[in-house]
Chain A
Amino acid sequence: MKLIIAIIQPSKFSEVRDELYKVEVNLITVSEVLGHGRQKGFSEVYRGVKEMGNLLKKIRLEIAVNENFVEPTIKAIVKGAKTGETGDGKIFVLDLKECVRIRTEERNGVAIG
């Protein structure tokens, strides 16, 4: 089992979600986060004062999957989020030790999907 964490552009979220649905990855957790990347975003200006080095809004996805879903999930995220410009984001793949479905107390492989 792997835990896939992806940081993507907020504007690409709906495309990523559509791609994930296509490969039957339906269980995702989404949060809004702020982050510093390498890219230059739209800087903000308030009453003539430019806000430099602002943290930029990003979307963070967490997806727990069985091994056979790891590659399709990664490919789907890349397909939905890639523009080729700096700032498209990153995908982290972590080993996942255990997973419990609270309702049934099932564990691991059956509990994950």
Chain B
Amino acid sequence: MINSGDTAFVLISAALVMLMTPALAFFYGGIVRRKNVLGILMQCMAILALVSIQWVLFGYSLSFAPGNAILGSLKWFGLNGVGFAPYADYAGTIPHQAFMIFQAMFAIITPALIIGAFAERMKFSGFMVFILLWATLVYDPVAHWVWGIGGWLRNLGALDFAGGTVVHINAGIAALVTALLIGKRKGLDNKPAPPHNLPFVVLGAGLLWFGWFGFNSGSALAANGLAVSAFVVTNTAAAAAGLSWAMLEWMFNGKPTIFGTVTGAVAGLVAITPAAGFVSVIPAIIIGLLVSVFCYIAVAYVKPKLGYDDSLDAFGVHGIGGIWGALATGLFASKAVNPAGSDGLFFGNPHQLYVQFIAVAVTVVYSALVTFIIYKVVDAAIGMRVSEKEEAVGLDLSQHREGAYTMLE
């Protein structure tokens, strides 16, 4: 039966998650050089438009329609049969389309996370085809495995409340693969380019934090205690991780920075995503404090050492943070928080950690493999990288014939 409170809550949550993609655009857009800021904003808004259409046409159906263990089906093509009565297997108290549009926003932001890895150098035409294929061949199947009825990771008992594997590990690994395939940006010699607008980065991070309440507590799919629990631990983990990153910088670089603090907060939000709804507040603090340590090591030491150009640390924050969050769920999950979940290692069930590990490993391998194939195919057919001259001029002017800022009126 439809509950109006739940329906209102899920619709508002969907709107909050929608806002995260433009928020991400500003978060990433502030970090790039100013000749590329419109390129980033355009990629985010293009994904918002493109995947919205893909989702209602066939993406939702491939992910969530009844199918087999690996993939949904085309039974719900064009939302055929997806109406306003509840579909009890997913959410018994809201219209089926409310669940569908909430899920749409997750399908949108996931490919948008990847763009941080290949920022400032991808050709727009190749980008559009790559994203469409990635959403269809990587996101949709993995979403089905973890969340769809009959999905094999769901049946295995893997816990992923709001998308640690489906969203963050999936996108983070795709980010690493694309960064390796497209190669480094020219002329930077592995030195970071200074962010062109740090206030934009803070604006974006703040709006991401805000939107994340819809992402995590909305995943309860009802306005109830579980949603409140997810809300509280989400805020707590983000706070702990922001403080923790700032402390690391204070210890190792002399001064805490705003860039580091908000990066930490985003890493905390990533890590708590699979765990929210299964863990209580003290584990949330531990998850937040530690995620900054892992991501800091990845971003400040591992990346420069290995020399790949994950330009905006999509892998370093979402890949690493997502893996930690998924494993931490296997450590700290507790039936006291969510009777529908299960206990983790610290609550006497080491098997859960093993299941989480399987979910992580499978997502890593699948995402890496299929991303690699899609990239190679699109690169051969259309080309993925802009010319050297276009890269030097910047994506704003070379790909979109626009400039973000004027010098004279």
The CA-CA distance from A32 to B401 in the complex, in Å, is 20
Q: Is B263 an interface residue, CB under 8 A from the partner? A: no
Q: Is B403 an interface residue, CB under 8 A from the partner? A: yes
Residues in A with CB closer than 8 Å to B373 are: none
Residues in A with CB closer than 8 Å to B306 are: none
Q: Please list the 5 inter-chain residue pairs (A to B) with the smallest Cβ-Cβ separation, ordered nearest first.
A: A11-B392, A45-B401, A42-B397, A14-B187, A44-B401
With both beta carbons as reference points, the residue of chain B lying nearest to A51 in the complex is identified as B401
Inter-subunit contact B402/A34 (CB<8 Å): no
With both beta carbons as reference points, the residue of chain B lying nearest to A42 in the complex is identified as B397
The CA-CA distance from A7 to B408 in the complex, in Å, is 18
Inter-subunit contact B393/A44 (CB<8 Å): no
The CA-CA distance from A14 to B194 in the complex, in Å, is 14
A-B contact pairs, 19 of them (CB 8 A): A9-B392, A11-B389, A11-B392, A11-B393, A12-B392, A14-B187, A15-B187, A32-B407, A41-B397, A42-B393, A42-B397, A42-B401, A43-B401, A44-B401, A44-B403, A45-B401, A45-B402, A46-B402, A55-B408
What is the interface of chain B mostly: helix, strand, loop, or mixed?
Answer: loop
Q: How large is the interface on A (under 10, 10 to 19, 20 to 34, 35 or more residues)?
A: 10 to 19
- The B384-402 residues at the A interface (CB cut-off 8 A) are 389, 392-393, 397-398, 401-402
With both beta carbons as reference points, the residue of chain A lying nearest to B398 in the complex is identified as A42
Inter-subunit contact B392/A34 (CB<8 Å): no
Task: Compute the total of residue contacts between A and B using a CB distance below 8 Å.
Answer: 25
Q: Is A57 an interface residue, CB under 8 A from the partner? A: yes
Residues in B with CB closer than 8 Å to A44 are: 397, 401-403
Q: Mark A32-57, 1 if CB is under 8 A from B, else 0.
A: 10100000011111100000000101
The CA-CA distance from A83 to B381 in the complex, in Å, is 29
Inter-subunit contact B407/A57 (CB<8 Å): yes
Least CB distance from B318 to A in Å reads 30
The CA-CA distance from A1 to B403 in the complex, in Å, is 39
Given contacts A11-B389, A42-B397, 10 further A-B contacts (CB under 8 A): A11-B392, A12-B392, A15-B187, A34-B408, A42-B398, A43-B401, A44-B397, A44-B401, A55-B408, A57-B407
Residues in A with CB closer than 8 Å to B389 are: 11
Residues in B with CB closer than 8 Å to A14 are: 187
Residues in A with CB closer than 8 Å to B398 are: 42
Least CB distance from B169 to A in Å reads 36
- The A1-40 residues at the B interface (CB cut-off 8 A) are 9, 11-12, 14-15, 32, 34
Q: Mark B242-272, 1 if CB is under 8 A from A, else 0.
A: 0000000000000000000000000000000
Least CB distance from B260 to A in Å reads 26
Least CB distance from A54 to B in Å reads 9
The CA-CA distance from A34 to B407 in the complex, in Å, is 8
The CA-CA distance from A9 to B393 in the complex, in Å, is 9
Residues in A with CB closer than 8 Å to B187 are: 14-15
Least CB distance from A31 to B in Å reads 11
Least CB distance from A32 to B in Å reads 7
The CA-CA distance from A34 to B405 in the complex, in Å, is 13
Residues in A with CB closer than 8 Å to B407 are: 32, 34, 57
Least CB distance from A63 to B in Å reads 21
